Amino acid sequence: MFTNMRIPAATAAAGAVLALVAGCGGADSGSTGPDMATMHSSAPATTTTAAASPTASFNDADATFAQMMIPHHEQAVEMADLAETRASDKEVKELAAKIKAAQDPEIQTMKGWLTQWGKPLPSGGMDHGMGHDMPGMMSADDMKKLEAAKGAAFDRQFAELMIAHHNGAIEMARTEQSQGSNAEAKELAKTIESAQQAEVAQMRKILDRL
């Protein structure tokens, strides 16, 4: 009689132990689940924010660089267009085409930045009223004289004016590299400085032989 009573009691005790173990296991799984979910959901969000910040970040120097370099480039492209029909020197024509091919896409890139940053685009090209603030910009009279020239006279005038124009762009590019904060804008400024320094050296050699 006493033996029969012990068996149900032992069984009940074992059941209670199993229930307790199962309960603890369930609590661990439940508490681990939300923690893991939180970890997984927060990590990508942090990564996305970090990746987006550098592109969106800019300061006044970046905006000024783009707003001034766009019309500066536009004038260089205008000068390069004149060389197609007025230059007589093959190297001058090739250099003019190279300048246009490089600066046209850069103009579009900088316009895209200003739009993204919510900053106004420069208007009116070289006559928009900021020309006097931009180093190396040609005056309206300089452009008229260049437009009127042809042959060897154009070649020499083009090289002389474009050297001054490039030196102005190099100065602006250096300012952006030292004062800007946007990585892409500073990288473009570095590219402009390097490319135009090489072109200035080339045009000085052209002048030496003309």
Residue pLDDT, tens place only, 14-35:
444 334 334 444 444 444 444 4
From 13, 39, 56, the end of a domain falls on: 56
pLDDT digits (tens, 9 = 90+) for 88-100: 999 999 999 999 9
Question: What pLDDT, on a 0 to 100 scale, did the predictor assign at position 56?
Answer: 65
Same domain, 103 and 190: yes
Question: What pLDDT, on a 0 to 100 scale, did the predictor assign at position 124?
Answer: 59
Average pLDDT over residues 129-156: 88
195 within 8 A of 120, measured Cβ to Cβ: no
Average pLDDT over residues 49-54: 39
Give me the CATH number covering residue 183: 1.20.1260.10
Question: What pLDDT, on a 0 to 100 scale, did the predictor assign at position 22?
Answer: 41
Question: What pLDDT, on a 0 to 100 scale, did the predictor assign at position 55?
Answer: 54
Same domain, 158 and 115: yes
Same domain, 193 and 140: yes
Question: What pLDDT, on a 0 to 100 scale, did the predictor assign at position 134?
Answer: 87
Same domain, 39 and 105: no
Average pLDDT over residues 182-195: 98
Report the mean per-residue pLDDT for the chain.
80
Same domain, 29 and 71: no
- At residue 190, what is the residue type? K
Where are the alpha helices (H) located in 57-128, listed in sequence order? 60-86, 90-117
For tokens 């900088």, name the residue.
Answer: 110
Same domain, 17 and 121: no
Same domain, 8 and 95: no
pLDDT digits (tens, 9 = 90+) for 122-136: 975 444 444 447 899
Rounded-to-integer distance, Cα 114 and Cα 140, Å: 26
Q: What is the pTM for the complete model shown?
A: 0.71
Average pLDDT over residues 127-146: 79
Greater confidence (41 vs 181) lies with 181
Same domain, 71 and 130: yes
Average pLDDT over residues 113-121: 96
Handedness of CA 187, 190, 195, 199 (dihedral sign): positive
Residue 37 pLDDT greater than 60, yes or no: no
Same domain, 87 and 23: no
Same domain, 139 and 192: yes
Average pLDDT over residues 147-163: 97
Residue 45 pLDDT greater than 80, yes or no: no
Integer angstrom CA distances of residue 151 from 34, 83, 85, 154, 202? 78, 9, 9, 5, 19
| Among 84, 210, 99, CA closest to 157 | 210
From 22, 39, 56, the end of a domain falls on: 56
Collapsing DSSP states into helix, strand and coil, what is residue 48? helix
Specify the number of domains making up the chain. Answer: 2
From 12, 36, 56, the end of a domain falls on: 56
- The domain of 16 spans 1-56
Q: Give the pair of three-digit tokens for residue 7.
A: 């068996």
Rounded-to-integer distance, Cα 47 and Cα 84, Å: 49
